[in-house]
Structure 1
Amino acid sequence: MRLLPIFLLVVATTLIRLGFAATTGLGVDESYMVTAGRLFSLGYFDHPPASWWLSWGAAHLLGTETPVAVRLPFILLFAVSQILMWRIGCLVADRRAGLWAAIALNLSPVFGVTTGSWVLPDGPLDAALLGAVLCLLHALSSGDQGLRSWSGAGLCAGLALFSKYTAVLPIGGALLYLLTHRRDRRWLARPGPYIAVALASAVFAPVPVWNALHGWASFTFQGDRAAGLRFRPLMPLTTLAGEALFVLPWIWLPMMLLFIRGFRRDAPWQHRLLVWLAAPPIVCFALISAWSSQRILFHWAAPGYLMLFPLLGEAIGGWLDRVWVRALIAGTTALVLVALVVISAQIQFDWLGGSLTEVMRKDPTDQALDWTSLRDDLRARGLLPPGTVAAALNWRDAGKIGYALGPGTTMLCLSQDSRQFGFAYPPRAFAGQEVLLLALEPAEQVSQEAKRWFHGVQVLPNATIRDGRRVLRTVTVLQGEGFHPGR
């Protein structure tokens, strides 16, 4: 009976995510990962392989690329993350703290919605990080060498690095904890931490090998995001505010108070460990935003906030006698569920029609809708015979269009910023072939751009991306002849 609450929570939330995944199309990043990841590789341009392999494996195992199929591994991993979060909360405080930590994790949109169900590196990252934290708690609690727990921490840390490069920040936080905490500094003179580092390095090893063979492309791309020459002293506040919105402000604020409190000398060692794990992602991305020329995405710091949920769960357990706390939890639950239903209903029935354009710069419906109407239109016109090579002018459109056209069509990206498309389907390998060029830009602009790539271009009638009968986007269609990628 003691396991029943967490069991029911995991089952119920997993079923909700399966329903959400089945009724919404893949987003831009998801479509890109599935399309560009159709060709299996030991390394990838944007991120380490874990998430790419998961979506590729699911598509091949289940024989389909439907959204619910490629999202399934990520939904199941979030179920594992909930169990790990619950267990960490139990070790830090008690079972009630663990349960509320898992509940709060579900209610925070950046975790419960995006990480919990989308094809993104964050799903395997969070599960691996939580596994590493659980093993680390056991290792630091052991009176002997604790080599089994240290090994588990190293393997999970390696899997986290194999998922996303930002895993290095909470891993670095573990080192900072060992250096600053008198109770556990003794571990630095024992073999456990070094075994963990060796195992983590071994798991991560294919990533630097792939980078070395491909001009350090992935490392350079991610490293450039911290580069810049301008100074914006107020930008860290904007970054923290954006992160608060992603987490939910009424979850973020008590988290940050608990984060600060965790550094006190009289704080339990488990609390101090968690806040040291949380500090590098939260602090580093806020500081980098002060000078970086790149836009700092608010979800990048999510691994830091992930570490604070056990502390929040413990606090919620002590606040449940307050009416406003119970009302806030109930209201947040209703808000998240209503949001999921509204989004799913819009994608399935287009019940809002074009009214979203009245309150937003553009209708986001097409971003959460699979562009299968484009595939149907082109097939009906005989433009998608077996072996078709298609192309788009940027990686975002290439992802959405390539996913809609299906694995039977090879998708090229004719852009200097082609990302993984440039490695999976290098344009030079298709020199001289006919290519179906599909673009969301006007025909005049696309025709001018096409002259760089083809000896001749035939402008065909436009195609459309539709939600039912409503036209969301118009697609310029050109048949390019004599493809010459070298120019």
Structure 2
Amino acid sequence: MSSPASGSGLMFRNPALAVVLIIVIGGLLRLVFGASLGLGIDESYMVASGRVLHLGYFDHPPASWWLTWGASRLFGSEAPLAVRLPFIVLFALSTWLIYRLTAALYDAAAGVAAALILNLVPVLGVTSGTWVLPDGPLCAALLGAALCLVHALEARRPASYGWWLMTGLLSGLALFSKYTAGAVIAGAVIYLATSSRHRRWLLRPEPYLAALVALAVFSPVLVWNAGNGWASLAFQGGRAAAARLNLLGPVRTLAGEALYVLPWIWLPLVIVAARATLRGPSEWRGWLLVCLGLPLVVVFPVIALWSNRQILFHWAAPGYLMLIPLLAEAVARRLVAGNRLTRLWLRGTVVFVVAVVIAFSMLVRFNPLPSLWTKEGPLRQLAYDGTDWTGLPAALGGIGLPPGPDMLAAGVNWRDCGKIDYGLGGRTPFICLSQDARQFGFRGPGPADYLGRDVVIVLRAGDLGRLAVLARNFKSLEDRGTIRFPVNGATDIDLHVFIGHDLLAWP
């Protein structure tokens, strides 16, 4: 008779090769997925507004912006796959890192399970692993920092200095990717303060040297903020501002997070985290993962109790990332024991995620059901938001306004501005005529440099109500009619075009 372990196949016979196969197959699926979809709203905005390098940016720290800027210049293109490629490569690295982290805490079989589960969580394995978002470099840096921290905690001098310095470097890179890394770093401090096994490190210099390294890596962001009225930190901090009590806010937030993680993965994650929390510091591996992951998982439902800002469900994803090794250890243990339900759960999730990704990619790429895109609803909204407006230059040329360096173009909200500016390809000067211009308000010449210019203003139908406000900023507005161009080969987008003559003032 074969042992349970031998019946579990490659996962246990050759763990490293199993992870390599997960990376290769997952990477190929992400390449197909990344090539099938145009850039989303956030992606278009980041690519377009990030064409000028800065030490900091309004929405997030620089890592993802710099990656996008570098990729577009390396490949000589802003095509979706070109700018997404660094994020696909980084997720391959994240897959290997979570394998090594989990193997260091538990064993290689659990490491393989962690690599597979990571790839199956949609908010991590699909969006963060493919799209132009700060979460891609954030996840890779956090996993690298956690792996180094595990080695640092058990290291002896002089090797301990190297592990702690690498922990600080990668923690700094995580902060350089997204501010929410601070919650995970705070969790590491909580662990050191509560762990009898590792509390001694607080009396040694290595953790404080690591903190200085992290601060040094993050310092360009502080320099940029200091020179720009602390705009980015104030914007992100303002999301937690109190407005009114909302008892359903936490429920909605947790339900959304469960949907993004997949409910049948989210619930086991919560269960293993609860068990590790109840065991407390006595089982240091589980307690470390709980300390790293739970602060970020808990903070957003708590903020949702009072915040009047929308809590986006993917914000807590790095917290769940830190809990995956806990679930992976439990899954691997059950697989070794020959648990058929666990094997069915894992295989069913693989089939479900792969099938949905392939079907969605084919639906968008080859458009076999065009009627779905012509009806009002989520798919039509995706046609607007998830497709590139590359037909915009030709449509403008058709009404005698060919884009070029002599034209000054504009939109009236940051979401459409990203689409418009990306569609124009960076060959036309562009401004965002909005009080909420986000990074568009920081990337180039100031408002005074454009006063007196004529501006080609592109509007969606829903923004026509802003014309009365826009009219105050120009001597006159000239209606140049409506332009139409296809998106996704199934539906058309209609945009209204005006020329604002003689810009008098900024909105």
| Shorter-chain TM band | over 0.9
Matched AA of 1:336:
V
**2:433 touches 2:506 (CA, 8 Å); kept in 1?**
no
Cα distance in 1 for residues equivalent to 2:256 and 2:333: 28
**2:455 touches 2:500 (CA, 8 Å); kept in 1?**
yes
Which residue number corresponds to residue 11 of structure 1? Answer: 24
Which residue number corresponds to residue 172 of structure 2? Answer: 158
Matched AA of 2:189:
L
Point out the more displaced range, 471-480 or 296-305: 471-480
Cα distance in 1 for residues equivalent to 2:185 and 2:90: 20
Q: Is structure 2 residue 338 aligned with structure 1 residue 313?
A: no
**2:30 touches 2:88 (CA, 8 Å); kept in 1?**
yes
Task: Return the offset for 1:350.
Answer: 2.6
Deviations 1:83-104 (A, max 9, x none): 1000011111111111110100
Cα distance in 2 for residues equivalent to 1:197 and 1:469: 52
**2:383 touches 2:491 (CA, 8 Å); kept in 1?**
no
**1:278 touches 1:307 (CA, 8 Å); kept in 2?**
yes
1:76 to 89, 107, 129: 89
RMSD: 1.8
2:456 to 417, 426, 436: 436
Q: Is structure 2 residue 393 aligned with structure 1 residue 375?
A: yes
1:254 to 268, 277, 285: 268
5 Å-filtered alignment, 1:32-431, equals 32-144=45-157, 146-263=160-277, 264-265=279-280, 268-320=283-335, 321-355=338-372, 357=375, 360=378, 363-387=381-405, 388-425=407-444, 426-431=446-451
Point out the more displaced range, 266-275 or 135-144: 266-275
Cα distance in 1 for residues equivalent to 2:135 and 2:52: 21
Task: Return the offset for 1:232.
Answer: 1.8
Matched AA of 1:173:
G
**1:354 touches 1:363 (CA, 8 Å); kept in 2?**
no
Matched AA of 1:248:
L
* Closer, same or farther: CA 108–305 of 1 in aligned 2, 3 Å: same
Task: Return the offset for 1:381.
Answer: 4.2
1:474 to 483, 491, 494: 494
SS of alignment partner, residue 212 of structure 1: helix
* Closer, same or farther: CA 266–168 of 1 in aligned 2, 3 Å: closer
Matched AA of 1:333:
V
**1:442 touches 1:476 (CA, 8 Å); kept in 2?**
no
Unpaired runs of at least 5, structure 2 = 1-13
Deviations 1:384-434 (A, max 9, x none): 342122101100000011111101022211111100001114433211112
Unpaired runs of at least 5, structure 1 = none
Task: Return the offset for 1:216.
Answer: 0.6
Q: How many residues align?
A: 487
**2:152 touches 2:164 (CA, 8 Å); kept in 1?**
yes
Q: Percent identity?
A: 47
Cα distance in 1 for residues equivalent to 2:453 and 2:122: 45
Cα distance in 2 for residues equivalent to 1:233 and 1:118: 33
Deviations 1:10-68 (A, max 9, x none): 11111111111111100000000000101111110000011000000100111000000
Cα distance in 1 for residues equivalent to 2:423 and 2:223: 33
Task: Return the offset for 1:310.
Answer: 0.9
Cα distance in 1 for residues equivalent to 2:156 and 2:488: 64
Task: Return the offset for 1:79.
Answer: 0.5
SS of alignment partner, residue 129 of structure 2: helix
Matched AA of 2:435:
Q
Point out the more displaced range, 100-109 or 475-484: 475-484
Where do 4+ consecutive residues of structure 1 move more than 6 Å? none
Point out the more displaced range, 33-42 or 461-470: 461-470
